[in-house]
Structure 1
Amino acid sequence: MEEKKLDINSIIGFILIFGILIWIMYQQQPTEEEIAAQKKAEAEKVEAEKQPEVVKEDTAVTTAEDYSNTGQLDSLQQVALQNKLGAFAYASSLPSATDEETTVNTGVFELKFKNKGGHLSQVKLTQFVDYDSVPIYLVKDGNSKFNINFATTDNRILNTRDLYFQPSVSKSGDNTVVSMRLKVSESDYLEYRYELKPEDYMIDFSIKSEGLDGIINGSQEIILDWEQKGIRHAKSISYENRYTRLTYMHEEDKIDKLGQMGDDNETVEDVEWLSYRQHFFSTILVADDPLKNVAISSKDLVEDEEVDTLYTKLYASKIPLEFKGGAINETWGMYYGPTDSNILKTYDKSLEESIPFGWGIFGWINKAIFIPLFNFLSGFLPYGIAIIVMTILVKILLSFVQYKQFLSQAKMKILKPELDAIRKKHKDNKLKAQQETMALQNKAGASPLSGCLPGLMQIPVFYALFMFFPTAFALRQKSFLWADDLSSYDTIANLPFSIPFYGDHVSLFPILAAIAIFFYMKMTTGQQMASQPTQEGMPDMAKMMKYMIYFSPLLMLFFFNNYASGLSLYYFVSNLISIGIMLVIKNYIIDEEKVLAKIEVSKKKPKKQNKFQRKMAEMMEQAEQQKKAQQKRKK
């Protein structure tokens, strides 16, 4: 067996390695300036802990890759960090290089700021709870990411989400200021500054850098990645998801949205604000100066309500940051709060436009009429009663429309025998029949259009209210009769299974609304059929209208089973009132004998055709001549 001998070269190698380690440890000893800086940082930390509204929560989570249990680094770790992070390795050598959180309560929300990444790790709205009595969280459990990606002058690519900020909390008058600094030295840093006002949902937020002009490479893009998943707050995640949408204002006053369902993305110039709307709650970034070339996206996370029960949508924005004069200097507002038009209006930034009140005239009707009216009524009435009173006022206002419709149908009903005689007389000449029909209607002052046009006037009101009730924050969690929440569906029975397009519960207000619609349509359809002249094809028309009598209530029953019970309450009361108005008009206002007498008087008076009637007559005459010419050519 060969004897083992110690090689002289090995001995020399061990001595050299040992000497190098001793030299590295000597070089890495902190200087007097660094010791003083560390003592100052510890003093600042102690001072911050004395703030009464601040709670320090040390999760004591340390990573094996860089940190010891005390936050201090040995020499080899410092060398590794220096190689990895460059100048930003300094931040990881400070005592704040832990996953500690700073908690601040302002009265309207409780905020948590995490050292790692420097941004909000939790936003809890203290004055609201969800459908299950759990506090409303807009940010929690990693659903939000806020990261700046940048290049350094020594060719590193860094992300602020991986780096440790040093927190400090101070007072500025009545406001609380939270400063999170990512340091490369005591005087050079990147800072997130949050100024919190008492009882205010808007945070004054700024991103500033100091002394980083030789460290951050300003010739390359500096991108802020801001992502957030909408946390479910309502009983029906599918219903909530319909009103969860990324909305933005750009080019001074243009309001646009990403797709409501499915996935969508866009690149936008001159963005004034971005709203991550989660139905009744919103996270909004408001820029002091318009943001350039912002890439935004929205991803739908709800495919199956039985499986996807936590989040509605994933929003993401990539915002370029400017590096002017060797520094970043961005000043924004960050709103975390209710999607309430009364609150959003107070900021004078048109933030209330993020609420989907409807486009064009529909939105104008809501903002100018229904919102002020409902705010007035709900100021002294219970919310359910306020809906009923508002419905009565709307129906009284539109009762003249119903009167015009019914009067037109009554006139057409009286003229029906004469119209039938005209069609029978000219059954082989449709043009002549149409001309004499129009002439008779013109003389009598009756026209099918006079019944349709008033009905069309009701459509803007109908659609405006359809948009108003699901977005009315005031109705949220307000009860009425058996409905626990007028902004959500009411439940009188839970089903042991789910019916497609209907759900796993039974709502009573949609059932009542469907019954009211059935009787209303039965009355109006019968009146319409009685006023229509007999002609070919009418049996098919009658059959279709008969089907509509049953189809419309069924549509209401299925479609509104998962909608806001306040909306179903409105349709129920509205149709009851419509039935009552129709009975009053029919039995007490319109006298068919008097209408007939007026028609006879009107028929005797010479009647000139208006431009539209003359044009229609000319078109019909031309069509008849072309038809005759074609028949001659065929012969």
Structure 2
Amino acid sequence: MENKKVDINTVIGYVLIAGLLFWMIYTQQSNLSENPPKEDNKQTEVVQDKPEQNTTEAQSSENQTPQTPQNDSIRNSQLQTLKGSFDYANINAEDNLTTLENEVIQLKISNKGGQVVEAKMKQFDSYKGDPIYLLKNDNAKFNIQFQDKSGRLINTADYYFTPKLTETDNGQRLSMKLKVSEDQYLEYVYQMNPNDYMLDFDIYSQGLKEVVNTSQNPQINWFLKAYRHAKSISYENRYTEIVYQYDGDKDDYTSQGDVAEEEEKLVDWIAYKQHFFTSILLNDQPFEKVKMISRNLVQDDEVDTLYTKSFESQIPLKFKNGEIVESMNFYYGPADYKVLKKYDRNLDEIVPTGWGIFGWINENVFIPFFEFLSSVLPSYGLAIILMTIVVRIVLSPLLYKSYLSQAKMKVLRPEINEINEKYKDNAMKRQQETMTLYSKTGVSPMSGCLPGLLQIPVFYALFQFFPSAFVLRQKSFLWAEDLSSYDSIASLPFHIPFYGDHVSLFPILASIAIFIYMTMTTGQNMQTSQPGMPNMKIIMYISPVVMLIFFNNYASGLSLYYFISNLITIGIMLVIKNYIIDENRILAKIEANKKKPKKKGKFAQRMQDMMKQAEEQKRLKNKK
């Protein structure tokens, strides 16, 4: 995904990871000196000429006007009077619902507006054990607005459509007609296929050009309020946003502010993403222009909230020979990378795997590797642990290089201290002598930086992977009930800003492991700091505390990964320190390097000449 905007929580997480890696890099230096299957023409059976009634919305039969010859005559007179007007559709109309259903989803389409008003996930429940509804109780609206010949604004959501449901060879087909007369109408055609979250949706009109003002283009208004489905409101809201693809294959998303507006051209699809579930509107031909608005409905994380955000899209259409002809799709289902990718329409970009190399690592390494592990292991927690072990083993050569550089710098520490003391009042001379020492001994302070920098893409990719991994949703491990949410071991009677109203154990364990690791790599060398550099000893204490607070509301799977990762790193370092690296041999090699004549590279020579020149200028200035 092309993440042009980064919310503050992602920034904090990235800075935290980068800070830890920067600390690792710095210790090495400081010890020494971070699409509709189109309608099947073979219709086999008319299942429902009159759709099922919804008892909460349908009019009671007692309130309906009795059908008598006199009433029929009145009704026919009204129909003749209103023929050619959109009010024709509302004569004796009823609020009814028609159900489309397959193995994975149940949809209910209302006569009023001809729109989907209820979307139920049949295979997933909320954190409370209730069914997952993406649409219900008027939280969504799909409306087409245009002008009639008199200049009156017509909103399809206010008018009644006539339904006709049929069974086809490949599923169910529902025609919803907004009739202006018997041969003039606007028609929505829904096609539901077996075992599929994708719904084909076509819009046709016949004879509409005789009724509407075709000089004013129609506009789709699509609105939805996103239901809360997870334990943590703030955590779910962080990943609830509008995602869209535009201008070929570019994708982007709305920001996390109270109100976010975006306007793009050539939009292929718009997704109202609710962290682990999403509603998507797709078009076979790109919408020429779309305006999208996201509003944050969570003003206080401490208040139990029904909705997280509201979404709205304004999509201008064009008449084609005076008629509306659009071939689209609706998707109501999980924001699961594997499910979305199979549609081959770049919908997997809705899942935030990271931008650039981070996304590449997730999509080509971690997602398929974790899918394999979870298919052969009895627990998703065990799959996380095994993946962590493999990652740390693969990265162990980089850890070895870093520790080797640290050991070399540690051997040089006495000489660097001596230079610092001797030239404590002359920073230029102190730096010059330090570089000369590095050159003579063949030690480069930068040799420990590169291994740490190479680990950053892996750390950040995993930071993106765990919160977005749908397979972890409601999967338990040890005391964690849901690896995609926080692992609460205790509830607090009050709310702590940034921390929350509960205590998560995995972040505590991860913070302790980080502190032990930092203590091991710090030792006594962090008691002093290099001039001009931050006090890294303070950072050693702050970093675990920041992680403890920040990860208290994060996915427990991510905290589990960091805990295991740091335990393994500590073990590898102990092995390297006690069984692989011999400081006496390093010292002997450094002493031997001192005796060898060194040919300076052009860059090193140029730097040394510049420093000598600066030193001479300073000396001459002091004489004046």
Shared fold by TM > 0.5? Answer: yes
CA displacement at 1:255 relative to structure 2: 1.0
Report the equivalent of 1:491: 488
Report the equivalent of 2:48: 49
The answer as to whether partners of 2:498 and 2:550 remain within 8 angstroms in 1 is: yes
> Could you tell me how far apart the structure 1 residues matched to 2:66 and 2:598 are?
99
Report the equivalent of 2:8: none
> Could you tell me how far apart the structure 2 residues matched to 1:441 and 1:332 are?
66
> Taking structure 1 as reference, are residues 304 and 76 closer, same or farther at Cα in structure 2, changes over 3 Å only?
farther
The answer to whether residue 448 in structure 2 is matched with residue 451 in structure 1 is yes
> Could you tell me how far apart the structure 2 residues matched to 1:136 and 1:615 are?
67
Farther-moved stretch of structure 1 (452-461 vs 321-330): 452-461
> Could you tell me how far apart the structure 2 residues matched to 1:60 and 1:430 are?
81
The answer as to whether partners of 2:107 and 2:120 remain within 8 angstroms in 1 is: yes
> Could you tell me how far apart the structure 1 residues matched to 2:321 and 2:360 are?
45
Amino acid at match of 2:236: E
Pick from 188, 197, 209 the counterpart of residue 213 of structure 1. 209
What SS class does the counterpart of residue 195 from structure 1 fall into?
A: strand
Report the equivalent of 1:569: 560
What SS class does the counterpart of residue 129 from structure 2 fall into?
A: coil
> Taking structure 1 as reference, are residues 467 and 117 closer, same or farther at Cα in structure 2, changes over 3 Å only?
same
Report the equivalent of 1:559: 550
> Taking structure 1 as reference, are residues 62 and 71 closer, same or farther at Cα in structure 2, changes over 3 Å only?
farther
The answer to whether residue 309 in structure 2 is matched with residue 313 in structure 1 is yes
Amino acid at match of 2:218: I
> Taking structure 1 as reference, are residues 488 and 154 closer, same or farther at Cα in structure 2, changes over 3 Å only?
same
> Taking structure 1 as reference, are residues 507 and 535 closer, same or farther at Cα in structure 2, changes over 3 Å only?
closer
What SS class does the counterpart of residue 452 from structure 1 fall into?
A: helix
Report the equivalent of 1:35: none
What SS class does the counterpart of residue 292 from structure 1 fall into?
A: strand
**Where in structure 2 are the equivalents of 1:323-342 lying within 5 Å?**
323-342=319-338
Pick from 481, 503, 506 the counterpart of residue 506 of structure 1. 503
What SS class does the counterpart of residue 488 from structure 2 fall into?
A: coil
Amino acid at match of 1:241: N
Deviations 1:545-604 (A, max 9, x none): 222222112112111111100001001001111111111111111000111111122222
> Could you tell me how far apart the structure 2 residues matched to 1:158 and 1:221 are?
12
Report the equivalent of 1:399: 396
CA displacement at 1:85 relative to structure 2: 9.5
What SS class does the counterpart of residue 57 from structure 1 fall into?
A: coil
Report the equivalent of 1:475: 472
Pick from 509, 512, 516 the counterpart of residue 513 of structure 2. 516
> Could you tell me how far apart the structure 2 residues matched to 1:80 and 1:625 are?
103
What SS class does the counterpart of residue 597 from structure 1 fall into?
A: helix
Which is bigger in relative contact order (C-alpha 8 A, separation at least 6)? 2
CA displacement at 1:527 relative to structure 2: 6.7
> Could you tell me how far apart the structure 1 residues matched to 2:406 and 2:216 are?
72
Q: Which of structures 1 and 2 has the bigger CA Rg?
A: 1
The answer to whether residue 437 in structure 2 is matched with residue 440 in structure 1 is yes
Amino acid at match of 2:487: D
What SS class does the counterpart of residue 267 from structure 1 fall into?
A: strand
> Could you tell me how far apart the structure 2 residues matched to 1:312 and 1:114 are?
25
The answer as to whether partners of 2:46 and 2:166 remain within 8 angstroms in 1 is: no
> Could you tell me how far apart the structure 1 residues matched to 2:79 and 2:589 are?
97
CA displacement at 1:397 relative to structure 2: 1.1
> Could you tell me how far apart the structure 1 residues matched to 2:153 and 2:180 are?
16
The answer as to whether partners of 1:85 and 1:158 remain within 8 angstroms in 2 is: no
The answer to whether residue 125 in structure 2 is matched with residue 115 in structure 1 is no
> Taking structure 1 as reference, are residues 255 and 488 closer, same or farther at Cα in structure 2, changes over 3 Å only?
same
Report the equivalent of 1:587: 578
> Taking structure 1 as reference, are residues 439 and 77 closer, same or farther at Cα in structure 2, changes over 3 Å only?
farther
**Where in structure 2 are the equivalents of 1:236-635 lying within 5 Å?**
236-307=232-303, 309-381=305-377, 382-526=379-523, 529=526, 544-632=535-623, 635=624
Amino acid at match of 1:524: T
> Could you tell me how far apart the structure 2 residues matched to 1:450 and 1:266 are?
45
TM-score (norm 1): 0.86
The answer as to whether partners of 2:206 and 2:323 remain within 8 angstroms in 1 is: yes
> Taking structure 1 as reference, are residues 312 and 142 closer, same or farther at Cα in structure 2, changes over 3 Å only?
same
The answer as to whether partners of 2:257 and 2:296 remain within 8 angstroms in 1 is: yes
> Could you tell me how far apart the structure 1 residues matched to 2:272 and 2:512 are?
39
Farther-moved stretch of structure 1 (358-367 vs 338-347): 358-367
Deviations 1:60-113 (A, max 9, x none): 6459xxx955699799999999999961122122x5x11111112111111101
The answer as to whether partners of 2:101 and 2:192 remain within 8 angstroms in 1 is: no
Instruction: Give the unaligned 5+ runs of structure 1.
Output: 1-43
> Taking structure 1 as reference, are residues 388 and 527 closer, same or farther at Cα in structure 2, changes over 3 Å only?
farther
What SS class does the counterpart of residue 324 from structure 1 fall into?
A: coil
The answer as to whether partners of 1:108 and 1:127 remain within 8 angstroms in 2 is: yes
What SS class does the counterpart of residue 181 from structure 2 fall into?
A: coil
The answer as to whether partners of 1:288 and 1:332 remain within 8 angstroms in 2 is: yes
The answer as to whether partners of 1:236 and 1:562 remain within 8 angstroms in 2 is: yes
Report the equivalent of 1:88: 86
Amino acid at match of 1:215: V
The answer as to whether partners of 1:423 and 1:535 remain within 8 angstroms in 2 is: no
CA displacement at 1:233 relative to structure 2: 0.4
Amino acid at match of 1:313: K
TM-score (norm 2): 0.87
Instruction: Give the unaligned 5+ runs of structure 2.
Output: 1-42
Report the equivalent of 1:170: 166
